[in-house]
Amino acid sequence: MPTHLNQYTLGRTLGSGVSCKVKLAKDAAGTRYAIKIIHSSETFEELIQTEVEALTQLQHVNIVRLVEVNQGMQVNPKKGSKNVKYIVLELVGGGELFDFVALGGRLSESTARHFFKQLMDGLKYMHDNGYVHRDLKPENLILDKDFTLKVSDFGFAAPVGGRDGSGLLQTQLGTASYMAPEIHLNKPYEGAKVDLFASAIILFVILTQRPPFSSANPKDPHYRLIAANHADVFWQAHAEAEEGNDIYSAEFKDLFEKMLALNPGQRPSIEEVMAHPWMQGPVPSAQEIHDDFTERKGKVDAEAHNERENKRAQRGAAAGKRGGNVHRGTGADEDEEPAENQADAWASLEVEEYGPYYIQGYTQFFMTSDPMEYFQDLVTYLQSKNIDYRISGSNLRLKFNTTIAVDAEEEEGEEEVKQAEQSVKVDIQLLKVNDHKSAVKFSYRDTETKRDVHSNSSMNHYIEMRDAEPLKIFNDTTFDE
């Protein structure tokens, strides 16, 4: 028997986050929607209320449409019933732009221009009507069945004039690899400026399948080149990733550099972006977009089908078969398939090429050592610490849970800051850059909130691990880039 919520029949889970779970839903007429069921928490309800306030006032072809906000009894024949708050959104069924690029390949400049124009149209409407998004990234850009781009996930939206009418916002939030430098530096910021900054990074990502830098912190080795007006060196570095080929037009480079200026006051307005010469270039016809993205959607749907089949197989596996410290899986965080023994775990591992997939906020460094050797010694280190790790998929990638020390708040009258602990999931992958260079990418994610952890504590933990036996032998071969 299906689960019901008022007039809606609920289907499979489309996604989940800290504040809600998103379900496929259908009404009596058979129309399908996406329903966000809010977790019971005042904090989460405040986040959703911001989204509701924004979407109630924003009606645009390039912004996901709000259908209704309500509460009611969620009735599950097996689990009983509970009262929940929810919002109903139009179902944008095409898929995330992220997946179309990650699985279907990079976009040409003309195709990227087509979608970037739609993003600018939606963003200008949003800003003109009093809101900023603050969490723009390819995962929050959804394509409908006709491959029209729509901006989604307004949980971090805010008034364009700031909460106090000053024109500035204060809260440090968003996705680290898409944040503007003023957010990284904990400075007050203009919401419209940071939205445009993130848009420039999105444009780079869909053109290349990789981020331009790890983060727009002035200390980042790649972003520092743009901030210090050494863009020529920045483009040379990215040409090396393209086997020496400069794939970017002069007009694109000019727009990108201007949109990513360190000083927000030197960045172009959205009107200036839309009038830039690069934006006046050719775009594909509607038929060309349809043909290109129909083929890409086939790859996205096939991957989604494989993931569902893998999860179904994992749920059917006996939990008692797990044993030892090493496991192999399909990349899912839960119920990963165990390996029979360590030899089996190593047998089919491959070194993935650097670049296409991990566009989110990973930290990375490079080395001249063989990635398999490093991975083997990483496993040896974890085993020596009795850390239960999982080899994820068929690549040189593993995950494990641990705790990291963080500074607790200092109480009045105490001379020393207390130490607290934070539970995190660590994700480390080895990648091949070329025959002489490898990359190590790693991230820390809070196990409760599922948010990425970007702090001195996580970096110190990784450095401590890197400097321990047997991994410290590789330190002489590593370098930042």
For residue range 305-351, what is the model confidence (pLDDT) as tens digits? 787 676 666 555 533 433 344 443 333 343 333 333 444 445 457 77
Q: How far is CA 7 from the centre of its chain?
A: 33
Amino acid present at 71: Q
Look up the pTM and report it: 0.67
Q: Can you spell out the DSSP letters for 327-390?
A: -EESS-SSSPPPPSSHHHHHHT-B-EESSSS--SS-EEEEESS-HHHHHHHHHHHHHHTT--EE
* DSSP secondary structure of 117-173: HHHHHHHHHHHHTTEE-S---GGGEEE-TT--EEE---TT-EETT-TTSSS-B----
CA-derived radius of gyration, the chain: 23
Cα 198 to Cα 166: distance, rounded to the nearest angstrom: 22
Residues 440 and 372 sit within 8 Å (Cβ to Cβ): no
Which residue is associated with the tokens 């450095």?
463
CA atoms within 13 A on the CB side of 198: 32
Output the pLDDT for position 236: 92
Instruction: Give the per-residue pLDDT at 422.
Output: 84
Helix (H) / strand (E) containing 453: none
In angstroms, the CA 28 to CA 275 distance is 46
Give the chain's domains with CATH numbers. Answer: 3-90 (3.30.200.20), 95-288 (1.10.510.10), 320-409+417-479 (3.30.310.80)
Contact 366, 481 (CB under 8 A): yes
Residue 87: its H or E element: strand 80-90
Question: For residues 173 and 321, is the Cβ–Cβ distance under 8 A?
Answer: no
Other Cβ atoms closer than 10 A to 205: 24
Residue type, 6: N
pLDDT at 115: 98
8 A C-beta contact, residue 224 and residue 218: yes
CB 115 within 8 A of CB 206: yes
Low-confidence residues of the chain, pLDDT below 70?
16-19, 41-47, 308, 310-348, 354-363, 393, 407-419, 434-436, 454-456, 472-481
* Contact present, 301 and 308 (Cβ < 8 Å): no
How far, in Å, CA of 132 to CA of 191, rounded?
6
The rounded Cα 129 to chain-centroid distance in angstroms is 27
With 0-12 / 13-18 / 19 or more C-beta atoms within 10 angstroms meaning exposed / middle / buried, residue 213 is buried
Q: Is 85 helix (H, G, I), strand (E, B) or coil?
A: strand
Distance (Å, whole) CA 419 – CA 405: 6
pLDDT at 231 (0 to 100):
93
Q: How far apart are CA 210 and CA 197, in angstroms?
A: 16
- Distance between the two ends of the chain, CA-based, in angstroms? 55
Place of tokens 């360190």: 262
Residues labelled catalytic:
135
Peptide bond before residue 470 is cis, with ω within 30 degrees of 0? yes
- How do beta strands 141-143 and 95-96 pair? antiparallel
Phi first, then psi: what are they for 477, rounded to 5°? -100, 0
Burial classification of residue 172, based on how many CB atoms lie within 10 Å of its CB (0-12 exposed, 13-18 middle, 19 or more buried)? middle
Q: Tell me: the pLDDT tens digits for 217-240?
A: 988 999 999 999 999 999 999 988
Cβ contacts of 329-335, under 8 Å, gap ≥ 24: 329/390, 329/391, 329/392, 329/393, 330/392, 330/393, 331/392, 331/393, 331/397, 332/307, 333/399, 333/425, 335/311
pLDDT number for residue 278: 98
* Count of other CB atoms within 10 angstroms of residue 102: 21
